[in-house]
Chain A
Amino acid sequence: MSTAALVVAVALLVTGAVLFVAWPLASPDAGPPEQVLSDRDRRVLELRERRDEAYQGLHDLEQELHTGKITPADYELERGRLRAEAAAALRELDGLSEPDPLR
């Protein structure tokens, strides 16, 4: 490849890259700005994570009972606690007028 051809190839590559990167900035379709989550939304996410942790805990508990890793007495005790945790998260979610898609 001659030097001239090489220079042309590199120029084309650089120009193409610059146009490709700059094109969205020149686009008239700006769209609305990205929105960040509000404090309420963050609290909802936190509560949903707690709810899912409790649901996952209940699922694990069932599995642990079936595979003999816990006694039935331990199962009852833990199930009560996990259900109470899930209920507390759901109550607060209701208070934030946040319907639970699982219900």
Chain B
Amino acid sequence: MVAGLRRDRRVMRSVQNAFAAAFVSALVAIAALEYGLVTNDYSLSVVFEHTSRNLPLIYKMTSLWASQEGSLLLWLTVLTGAAGIVMYQNRHRNRELVPWVAAVLGGIAVFFAGLAAFVSSPFAHVPGAVPTDGSGLDPSLQNPYMAAHPPMLYLGYVSMAVPFAFAMAALITRRTDARWLVSVRRWTLVSWTALGIGMLLGAHWAYVEIGWGGYWAWDPVESAALMPWLAATAFLHSVMVQEKKGMLKVWNMVLVITAFSLCIFGDFLTRSGVVQSVHSFVQSAVGPWLLGFLALVLAASISLLIVRLPTLRADHKLESVVSREATFLFNNLLLLALAFAVLWGVVFPILSEAARGVRATVATPYYDFFLVIFGLPLLALTGIGPLIAWRRASPGSLWRTFRWPVISGLAGGAFLALLGLGSSPAGLTALSLCVFVTVTIGMEFARGTAARRAIAGGSWPRALRDLVNRNRRRYGGYVVHLAIVLLVVGVTASSAYSSVDEANLGVGQSMRIDGYTLRNTGLFQRRGPNYRLEYVRLQVYKGGKPDGILEPGLRQYDTGQVGNEVDIRSSLLTGTDLYSILQAPDRNGSGVSVKVLVNPAVGLVWLAGVVFALGALITIWPDPREARQLARRYGELLARSEA
């Protein structure tokens, strides 16, 4: 703030060094805690409560973020690292904004450093004598996905602070032109991509580890990551409208404030213990602090926005509701409506408990209802948006542009109905819309490549490469749309058209499900590094022929904890999973209790993650043409301000 008010270059250089020093200090603290974890230093509470001597080394290391205290330290490290990168990136540009960006990021970092130092210290000691062994790590966290899932989500949550800081700096300095958007677009993409991949990693972890047969249960902590992702998705679309038309300036500010506030709210949900979740930490003292911080963020940012409203007037007005900017606006409204429906589902049990003393339950049908109500129109807009013209579209051009996608969608729907998929009207509609969107994406690539070839000549692959290179944001975005289609097909098929059955099977007995026969060939035991596994061997038959073996089991850890070990057979061709769970071993001669699911096309959900990452990478990749254009627009003016 002093650097911003006094415009003193020495103070700004000191600020830049302070962020570097904060990052290095946080890294040293992480290294010290990791040292305690891998050397079994049970004088530290975190080490005692989350590890044991026979825990494999990799899980001793990842247990750092299994604890409230360690994860706060990780959060602080990622935040100071991101702030340090921002300072380095902007050492020669955005000189008017950066002191205030630093002030906001510094304020956030000081808050989290205060939590880690005074409220929830990762270096707190165990009272009394030092124990000889630890309590052990929760079995569900002893999974390779836990090495990547939480850090990825933290990267997503924390990097959302950068767009927020730039938005606040733009409001403080009245620099509400498009410059701040240019500076934050890539950071928003990083945050959005990390949240998206983090959620999918978490979904896969739940699928292979938790052992209930699904991957998304509308758990409050899952929803906590989804809400800012939805708000960021809205921002990434509406930012294009501001860049191209000078509209939605207030709305973009609102979206950035909303996305960051939802990140803090998500952190509050995870850390406060107010919700019951497999992902949350135990109740702790950080909850009220985080709630207070959220209130401060909202009060300060909304007040500033109101004061600066006169500087946020739109350059143009919406010319037609049948235009690309209008579809982006509808898309934004639907995304936020979905985010707030999810938010209400999360907070309602908390509010009902506070008001009436009884915790109400918001079950899956509530979320599924809003997912269908808001999600299907959103899916349709995913196809409509790219094909519709900016400003306005005439009825003639609409028919010419949309006839093949619409005909394909209807024909695809009819074909799927003939295959018997009409049992779920919402599922059939979603799949038909997926056909519609896929055709629109294909048409965009085909027409764009043809147009590029007509202008520059060359082969089709070269024209396609040039097309993507010349507009990475647009075509990377289309690849992300394709990922959304894959995700919707996978989720729809595996939820609306799955089969499930349970049985008690003695040795030699069989059960049938969806064309498969599973025969119990016996109960076995195996020793692992820190557990004993008891598992049933199920011989699988399809069409009367052997088709592999499933071995679901239960792990009895040396620390006394019990963990489920599901076994899954995946078909690479169809993406269908045969998913088996050992619910209870044979204790009284009635046979083992097993649950089996057939999840069609669930593999597409994971494939969607790969395509999503590819599309995001194309979009994030720096574009020298765009950099040159921005240099022409801002270059010498900013140089003058630095003279």
Contact = CB atoms under 8 A, between A and B. Distances in A.
B454 to A, nearest CB: 7
Contact of A34 (B7, B444, B633): B7
B637 interface: yes
Interface stretch (B257-265, B385-393, B599-607): B385-393
Interface string B617-635: 0000000000001001111
Q: Secondary structure at chain B's binding surface: helix, strand, loop or mixed? A: helix
A31 B394 contact: no
Contact of A44 (B397, B444, B637): B637
Contact of B17 (A24, A44, A69, A101): A24
Contact of B10 (A24, A68, A70): A24
A35 interface: yes
B80 to A, nearest CB: 12
Contacts of A35: 7, 640-643
Contacts, number: 131
Contacts of A78: 391
Contact of B397 (A27, A49, A70): A70
B393 to A, nearest CB: 7
Contact of B633 (A23, A49, A57): A49
B20 interface: yes
Interface string B301-321: 000000000000001000000
B interface, size bucket:
35 or more
Contacts of A49: 177-178, 246, 315, 633
B245 interface: yes
A42 B315 CA distance: 15
Contacts of A37: 96, 175, 637, 641
Interface in A1-54: 13, 17, 20-25, 27, 30-37, 41-42, 44-46, 48-50, 52-53
Contacts of B365: none
Given A53-B246, A60-B390, A64-B389, A36 B96 contact: yes
Interface of A: 13, 17, 20-25, 27, 30-37, 41-42, 44-46, 48-50, 52-53, 56-57, 60-61, 63-64, 66-71, 74, 78, 101-102
Interface of B: 6-14, 17-18, 20-21, 24-25, 28, 95-96, 173-175, 177-179, 243-246, 315, 387-394, 396-397, 400-401, 444, 447-448, 451, 454, 629, 632-637, 640-643
Given A30-B8, A42-B175, A69-B388, 5 more contacts: A17-B25, A36-B7, A45-B177, A53-B246, A63-B448
